[in-house]
Chain A
Amino acid sequence: MTDLAQDLLSSFVVAEAGLNGAKNLGVVNMRKEALDRFEASGFPTTRDEEWKYTNLKPVLKHDYKILLKSESAVSFGDIKQYLLSDLDTYKLVFINGKYSSWLSESTHQNYDICTFAAALNKYPDVIAEYLGKAAPAGETFVDLNTAFADDGAYIRIKANKTVDKPIEILYITTDENGTSFSQNRNLIIVEQNAEVQILERHQNLGGAESFTNFVSEVFAARDARVSYYKVQNDSDKASLVDNTNVKQETGSNVHVGTYSFGGKLVRNNLHFYSGGEHAESHMDGITIIGDGQTVDHHTLVDHQEPNCYSRELYKGIYLGKSHGVFNGKVMVRQKAQKTNAFQQNDNILLSDKAKVDTKPQLEIFADDVRCSHGCTVGQLDKNALFYLRSRGIPKREAEGLMTYAFASDALEYVKIPQLEKRLNGVIAEKLGINLEFAL
């Protein structure tokens, strides 16, 4: 057992005493059971098949503070650049894991856009119905989060409501606690025929190392529509394990886009449980990283019912000494006839020192399905590069233009123009190109 695991176990009693929802017996028991499972399993190592390519040891070795103090000195000016300033949004801002009402803009009109901490006490029936029902018990980081998390975003959109503006969720870490270990949790419930757009990011504003173990549970009821965008452009001191679990019912349409440009080590465990006919599951992303950075996408689509569609498109561009991992599992259960599943992972290595491990996994138990998958790892096409240069476009611009063209189709499903513009800006900056190249 690592020192960090020991620290976590011994912190639990103190943590639990201060936790919200401590009076809710169901939640108390859920936490204790989750902690017991964590105690038995400990942190995964590279001997674990699911963590074969991503070594957590270097980021778990720090002496993290587990019981964090919030900080009131953070002003809107400090966080403004991490929000879409040209767009009116609801905002849920958390500083060192605790909700900041000063920096946020929540609502209870028509829909609940507030905090998990409040919901634990205010809506015990909803919590009992949904909490832990999408995130799989038995996964180490989920269990650990279940035991400790006491705040995060709580979003519940009532049937037939379309949220009038996007919701931005921002998790900020400061130097207040030194090296910090944060665990927050989102609970997102989108009822029948309701619609919502959510943007989320984690940001370490300080100079100390940080580790975030994050869980998000999304429930999309019949015909619900959810767009969930994750912008990962954190400092090189910040590591993140994001466990996002989506449960879908009949006719629902959920898109999760993950745009990874920064951070030290980022692991995205993204699971879709497609549990109703004609559900659509979309997941896509762009990764552009450089020296010393690792981004690991582990996705699962579990097709449980017939006539569903899933689309998965991840593009990776690796510079310097960076490391990318893609592991995409598509499960089609026996009952899930007429499943149409598409999966593609394409990578470009722009440096000799960059490395990618990519592994598609199909487990198909139904006989009448259409599943396609593919992965590529390559360099830029020399012919195309020569073509552009022969027209007078200098080598560096030509490479940038081709790299941008390679990545940009993973932005096709971004429905918020301001976000698309912002992402294009980051991509252009990372690739050192002039955006006028783009469409």
Chain B
Amino acid sequence: MIKIKDLQARVEEKEILRGINLEIGPGEVHAIMGPNGSGKSTLSSVIAGREDYEVTGGAIDFEGEDLLDLDPEERAHKGIFLSFQYPVEIPGVTVSNFIKTAINESRKGRGEEPMEAREMLAKMREKTALLEMDKSYLSRSLNEGFSGGEKKRNEIFQMAMLEPKLAILDETDSGLDIDALRIVANGVNKLRSEDNAVVVITHYQRLLDYIEPDFVHVLYNGKIVKSGDKNLALELEAKGYDWIKAENA
């Protein structure tokens, strides 16, 4: 589905990604772990198209197309979704109007007709129930005054509505208590299918107890230095990152 080849990126003068190679196929769940400052969030931002980062080398191929040529909205239309570590508050715009606009703009971008109002409503009802959200969420201003947990749940709600092919969850577990974590993970699991893929970016093993990864990668100093199965995450949990740092010093 997505092939990342020797990806290098910097912000201002600082090199952050120093040659990332990663291939993700449909139906797969990949976890990317690593210490602070290793480049995890940069990688997700570059895939989603944030303009603050300058790609200095390498390529990203998404279903046969060069992703790096596309605007962030065009990437969204192709089915890429980024769940933000820090979702942005937008006062004056309700969750329901926002998601309606996002869905219909994406459909327009793909040359499809807007979604019928009735279908939209039914879908919103279904997905709020899935994430155990109260319906009143929908008429609140986007993320304004939301608690950390509510913001993260709202991200997964948007993911559920948009049904992306590739979802990147950037530290979705941070700021969640154990109940919220279970609800969010349950939501993500329900959305998994043969056709879509999920990338989970996290510091901790905790989330991976609920969303079981097929592959675990360790990102350090802008490179993937180790890959394995879910046991690698358990090993990291037990031993910390120092041995990774020592191996790559």
Contact = CB atoms under 8 A, between A and B. Distances in A.
Report whether chain A binds chain B.
yes
Interface stretch (A111-119, A238-246, A378-386): A378-386
A183 to B, nearest CB: 39
B231 interface: no
B90 A402 contact: yes
A394 B77 CA distance: 10
A421 B48 CA distance: 36
Interface in B72-92: 72-73, 75-77, 81-82, 84, 86-92
Residue with the highest number of chain A CB atoms closer than 10 Å, among B50, B77, B87, B106: B50
A393 B105 CA distance: 6
B69 interface: no
Contact of A395 (B50, B52, B73): B73
Interface in A353-412: 381-384, 386-395, 397-398, 401-402, 404-406, 408-409
Contacts of A397: 101, 105
Contact of A405 (B50, B87, B90, B162): B90
Interface string B216-233: 000000000000000000
B102 interface: yes
A390 B101 contact: no
B73 A438 contact: no
Contact of A437 (B51, B88, B89, B97): B97
Residue with the highest number of chain B CB atoms closer than 10 Å, among A390, A395, A401, A409: A390
B93 A387 contact: no
A437 B90 contact: no
A380 to B, nearest CB: 11
Nearest to A398: B73
Main secondary structure of the interface of A (DSSP, over half): helix
Contacts of A388: 90
B92 A389 contact: no
Interface residues on B, range: 35 or more
B52 A382 contact: yes
B88 A384 contact: yes
A408 B105 CA distance: 23
A78 interface: no
B23 interface: no
B92 A438 contact: yes
Given A386-B51, A390-B72, A390-B82, A404 B92 contact: yes
Given A382-B52, A405-B93, A392 B88 contact: no
A387 B88 contact: yes
Given A390-B48, A391-B162, A438 B76 contact: no
Interface string B181-222: 000000000000000000000000000000000000000000
A393 B71 contact: no
Residue with the highest number of chain A CB atoms closer than 10 Å, among B52, B89, B93, B158: B93
Nearest to A389: B72
Residue with the highest number of chain B CB atoms closer than 10 Å, among A382, A386, A404: A386
Contacts of A1: none
Nearest to A402: B90
B195 to A, nearest CB: 19
Contacts of B50: 386, 390
Contacts of A25: none
Interface string B21-56: 000000000000000000000000000111110000
Contacts of A404: 92
A395 B162 contact: no
Contacts of A393: 73, 101-102, 105
B109 interface: yes
Given A405-B92, A437-B97, A437-B101, A392 B82 contact: no
A148 to B, nearest CB: 44
Nearest to A382: B52
Nearest to B87: A387
Given A387-B87, A390-B76, A439-B97, A395 B71 contact: yes
B174 interface: no
Nearest to A407: B92
A382 B109 CA distance: 22
B88 A381 contact: yes
Contacts of A436: 97, 100-101
A155 to B, nearest CB: 34
Contacts of B93: 401, 405, 437-439
Contacts of B72: 386, 389-390
B98 to A, nearest CB: 8
Nearest to A439: B94
Give the 7 A-B residue pairs with the shortest CB-CB distance, closest first. A405-B92, A392-B76, A392-B106, A389-B72, A391-B102, A387-B88, A384-B88
6 contacts: A381-B88, A387-B87, A388-B90, A389-B73, A389-B76, A393-B101
Given A382-B52, A386-B50, A390-B81, 14 more contacts: A382-B51, A386-B51, A387-B87, A388-B90, A390-B49, A392-B73, A392-B102, A402-B90, A405-B93, A409-B91, A437-B97, A438-B92, A438-B97, A439-B93
